[in-house]
């Protein structure tokens, strides 16, 4: 049995794309799989060996130690293919290739575009960092055997002969409770990381404005709030404006727990700001909502509008002009027959097309090609 090793210095050990999708799919395809990741101690889960990388938790310390430690730990696994998921591991990838190994770089996001939205980086440095990153990445890619891209839109930025697009589509789940009556009060849900760029204030404002139009609703925000200051501001705002009974900050939960929140909601929200990287990236949560029969309210990026026009599973709005969009949203919420239709459309779209099965096949085929 051939052994493969996935590497991450940043993502949680049981990240949905890395562990639940890729590692488990490859194990099911007959490979022996291990994962080197930030975890307190070594363990085996679902037949996959998860190895602690013991890296410092602060960004500077991690970046200083990452290349040496991750390369050393990777080589100890004696795997034949190494698949890494973080740009800071590019030098490790080069060293592994020079050691005679097959190396895959998994591009989760368009880093050059996303640098503009990194709050921890001073604005005056962003153009310089973007250029440096471009040259480092271009050079590093020369060493890698393959690239796995999380979005179709990334193909124009990377060498196509080395690239395989593996979209982050949802795993099909059996026995989903997807029956929706869409009775009042309406229940909104958001799942994923919580930040200003991901539209947390616009979601809160939506609930507040609907209240003013006598539309009773509730919102559960399920995911980690990236900034302690932001969390404090949100809690303060919710308390001040009397929204504590309607808005719940659930926080970060396990992948397996998300299902119950989706089953108990009516409408899914995707309120991303028009940041360069988001404009070209499909939000996985859009398809996860559809899988659970949730009609979606999402931002009106051209890419998103294209998918909504295809699936008829929701509506697009300008989240930066919530006040102007409230009449459209109220009409959407009041049309129970249309909501039922959108629910069925979303379910059908995911069960027939937008799911992990086809992406899994592309991933496994790439591995077969590299090993042959």
Return the pLDDT at 209. Answer: 95
Q: Are residues 193 and 332 in the same domain?
A: yes
Q: Are residues 76 and 39 in the same domain?
A: yes
**Number of H-type helices and E-type strands within the chain:** 14, 14
Residue 180 domain-assigned (yes or no): no
At 180, is the pLDDT very low, low, confident or very high (cuts 50, 70, 90)?
confident
Residue 302 domain-assigned (yes or no): yes
Q: Are residues 78 and 199 in the same domain?
A: no
> Mapped to the 3 state alphabet, what secondary structure does 81-108 carry?
EEEECCHHHHHHHHHHHHCCCEEEEEEC
Tens digits of residue pLDDT in 52-97: 987 766 665 566 678 888 999 999 999 999 999 999 999 999 999 9
Q: Which residue has the higher pLDDT, 87 or 176?
A: 87
Residue 176 domain-assigned (yes or no): no
Residue 174 domain-assigned (yes or no): no
- Quote the percentage of the chain above a pLDDT of 70: 96
Return the pLDDT at 332. Answer: 96
Q: Are residues 47 and 96 in the same domain?
A: yes
Kindly give, in sequence order, each residue whose CB lies less than 8 Å from that of residue 174, ignoring residues fewer than 6 positions away.
Answer: none
Return the pLDDT at 114. Answer: 78
Q: Are residues 9 and 115 in the same domain?
A: yes
Residue 178 domain-assigned (yes or no): no
Query: Does residue 176 carry a pLDDT above 90?
Result: no
Total count of domains within the chain: 2
Q: Are residues 136 and 111 in the same domain?
A: yes
Q: Are residues 117 and 210 in the same domain?
A: no
Return the pLDDT at 58. Answer: 64
Q: Are residues 46 and 140 in the same domain?
A: yes
Residue 175 domain-assigned (yes or no): no
- Quote the percentage of the chain above a pLDDT of 90: 81
**Range in 11-25, 112-126, 246-260, 301-315 the model is least confident about:** 112-126
The H or E element spanning position 49 is strand 48-52
Q: Are residues 154 and 231 in the same domain?
A: no
Q: Are residues 195 and 259 in the same domain?
A: yes
CB atoms within 10 A of CB 80: 17
Rounded Cα gap, residues 104 and 93, in angstroms: 8
Kindly give, in sequence order, each residue whose CB lies less than 8 Å from that of residue 77, ignoring residues fewer than 6 positions away.
Answer: 3, 5, 34, 36, 51
Rounded Cα gap, residues 16 and 22, in angstroms: 8
Return the pLDDT at 74. Answer: 96
**Range in 175-179, 221-225, 339-343 the model is least confident about:** 175-179
Rounded Cα gap, residues 363 and 359, in angstroms: 6
Please give the biggest Cα pair distance in the chain: 66
Residue 66: domain span: 3-169+356-371
**Range in 61-70, 233-242, 333-342 the model is least confident about:** 61-70
Rounded Cα gap, residues 131 and 202, in angstroms: 33
Rounded Cα gap, residues 75 and 70, in angstroms: 9
Q: Read off the CATH number of the domain in which 339 is found.
A: 3.40.50.2000
Tens digits of residue pLDDT in 133-163: 899 999 999 999 999 999 999 999 999 999 9
Rounded Cα gap, residues 168 and 175, in angstroms: 22
pTM assigned to the model: 0.90
Q: Are strands 43-45 and 48-52 parallel, antiparallel or unpaired?
A: antiparallel
Residue 181 domain-assigned (yes or no): no
In degrees and rounded to multiples of 5, residue 311 shows phi and psi of: -95, -25
At 173, is the pLDDT very low, low, confident or very high (cuts 50, 70, 90)?
confident
Residue 193 domain-assigned (yes or no): yes
Over residues 117-143, mean pLDDT? 84
Q: Are residues 331 and 210 in the same domain?
A: yes
Q: Are residues 317 and 363 in the same domain?
A: no
Are the beta carbons of 104 and 146 closer than 8 angstroms? yes
Are the beta carbons of 148 and 307 closer than 8 angstroms? no
């Amino acid at each position: 049995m051939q052994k493969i090793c996935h590497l991450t210095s940043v993502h949680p050990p049981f990240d949905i794309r890395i562990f639940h999708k890729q590692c488990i799919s490859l194990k099911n395809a007959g490979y022996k799989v291990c994962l080197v990741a930030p975890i307190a101690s070594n363990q085996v889960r679902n037949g996959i060996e998860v190895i602690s990388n013991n890296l410092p938790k602060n960004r500077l310390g991690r970046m200083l130690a990452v290349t040496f430690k991750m390369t050393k730990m990777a080589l100890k696994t004696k795997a034949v293919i190494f698949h890494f998921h973080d740009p800071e591991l590019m030098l490790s990838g080069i060293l592994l290739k020079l050691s005679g190994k097959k190396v895959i770089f998994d591009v989760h996001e368009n880093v050059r575009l996303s640098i503009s939205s990194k709050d921890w980086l001073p604005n005056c440095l962003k153009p310089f960092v973007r250029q440096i990153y471009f040259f480092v990445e271009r050079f590093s890619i020369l060493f890698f055997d393959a690239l796995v891209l999380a979005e179709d839109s990334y193909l124009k930025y990377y060498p196509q002969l080395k690239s395989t697009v593996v979209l982050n589509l949802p795993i099909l789940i059996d026995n989903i409770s997807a029956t929706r009556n869409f009775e009042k009060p309406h229940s909104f849900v958001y799942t994923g990381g919580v930040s200003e760029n991901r539209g947390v204030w616009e979601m809160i404002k939506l609930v507040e404005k609907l209240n003013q139009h006598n539309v009773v609703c509730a919102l559960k925000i399920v995911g980690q709030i990236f900034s302690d200051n932001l969390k404090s501001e949100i809690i303060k705002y919710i308390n001040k404006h009397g929204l504590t009974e309607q808005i719940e900050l659930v926080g970060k939960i396990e992948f397996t727990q998300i299902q119950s929140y989706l089953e108990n909601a009516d409408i899914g929200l995707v309120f991303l700001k028009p940041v360069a990287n988001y404009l070209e990236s499909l939000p996985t949560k859009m398809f996860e909502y559809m899988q659970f029969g949730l009609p979606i309210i999402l931002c009106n990026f051209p890419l998103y509008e294209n998918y909504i026009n295809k699936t008829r599973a929701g509506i697009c709005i300008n989240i930066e002009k919530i006040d102007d969009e409230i009449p459209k949203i109220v009409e959407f919420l009041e049309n129970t027959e249309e909501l039922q239709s959108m629910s069925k459309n979303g379910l059908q779209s995911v069960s027939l097309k937008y799911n992990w099965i086809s992406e899994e096949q592309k991933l496994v085929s790439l591995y077969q090609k590299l090993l042959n």
